[in-house]
Amino acid sequence: MKTLSLLSLVLAAATSFSTMANISDDKHRVGAQLSGGSASYKSSSQDGDGVGQLYVYYNYQFDPTWALEVGLNGGGDSDEWECTDTKNRKFTCTQLNKTLFEIGANDLDYGNLIVAAKGQYKLTERNSLYGKLGANFYDYELNRGSKTLEEDDGVGFVAELGWQFDWQNGMAMNVSYQYLDMGDLDVSALGVGVSYRF
């Protein structure tokens, strides 16, 4: 009886260690993150300078703490709408086309190629805090209708702080704060994302 109990205990321990080894052996992660926040151009911002962005990325995990991340980010201004209730439950919506950054622009589009180092600190087996620091290769345009008012491209930096929860099946979710420096244009955004490790 003791031998059977001991054998069961050894088998259970070996299974759990192999499961933990499989989780820690996962070197790759792909993910996507949706963010919303605000932008400033030449330190000028005003009400209505909101942005939305989508970030897709790939991580290579060197060890339990450090990873290299490469990703593509695309964003633009978020338009505000006002909807009014008309007769017979019909709604009429109009776009509140506010100008951006006190320069008369009404459209902002930007894209980034991001390369960053990611470090993480485990709080528990599944919860961790993380930080990213790296470079972003940016390209943006500020337009008024079809007229381009400002455009620029170059290299800036990116920083991100967040919390991540990993499930055993490889899926994870995260919540983060991201800052993008694009020369005269700065973007700060809060994001929610999902990822898969393999």
10 within a domain of the structure (yes/no): no
Cα 62 to the center of its chain, rounded Å:
21
How far is the C-alpha of 163 from the C-alpha of 170, rounded, in Å?
16
120 within a domain of the structure (yes/no): yes
Q: Which CATH number fits the domain that encloses residue 149?
A: 2.40.160.20
Per 3-state DSSP, the chain is made up of helix, strand and coil in percentages (nearest 5) of: 15, 65, 20
CB burial of residue 86 (10 Å; 0-12, 13-18, 19+)? exposed
Distances in Å between the Cα of 179 and the Cα atoms of 156, 164, 190 are: 11, 18, 9
Which pair of structure tokens corresponds to residue 160?
Answer: 């991100």
- What are the beta bridge partners of residue 24? none
Residue 8 CB-half CA count within 13 A = 5
- Residue 9 confidence (pLDDT) above 50: no
132 within a domain of the structure (yes/no): yes
* pLDDT tens track for 107-121: 899 999 999 999 999
44 within a domain of the structure (yes/no): yes
How far is the C-alpha of 7 from the C-alpha of 1, rounded, in Å?
10
Selection from 142, 73, 86 nearest residue 112 by Cα: 73
Domain count, the chain: 1
What CA dihedral angle connects 193, 36, 154 and 132, to 10 degrees? Answer: -40
Confidence at 6, pLDDT banded by 50, 70, 90: very low
106 within a domain of the structure (yes/no): yes
- pLDDT at residue 95 in the model: 54
- Residue 183 confidence (pLDDT) above 80: yes
- What are the beta bridge partners of residue 40? 186
58 within a domain of the structure (yes/no): yes
Q: Taking residues 162-184, report their average pLDDT.
A: 97
18 within a domain of the structure (yes/no): no
Which pair of structure tokens corresponds to residue 91?
Answer: 């709604």
- What range does the domain containing 71 cover? 27-197
Q: 44: which DSSP letter?
A: B
63 within a domain of the structure (yes/no): yes
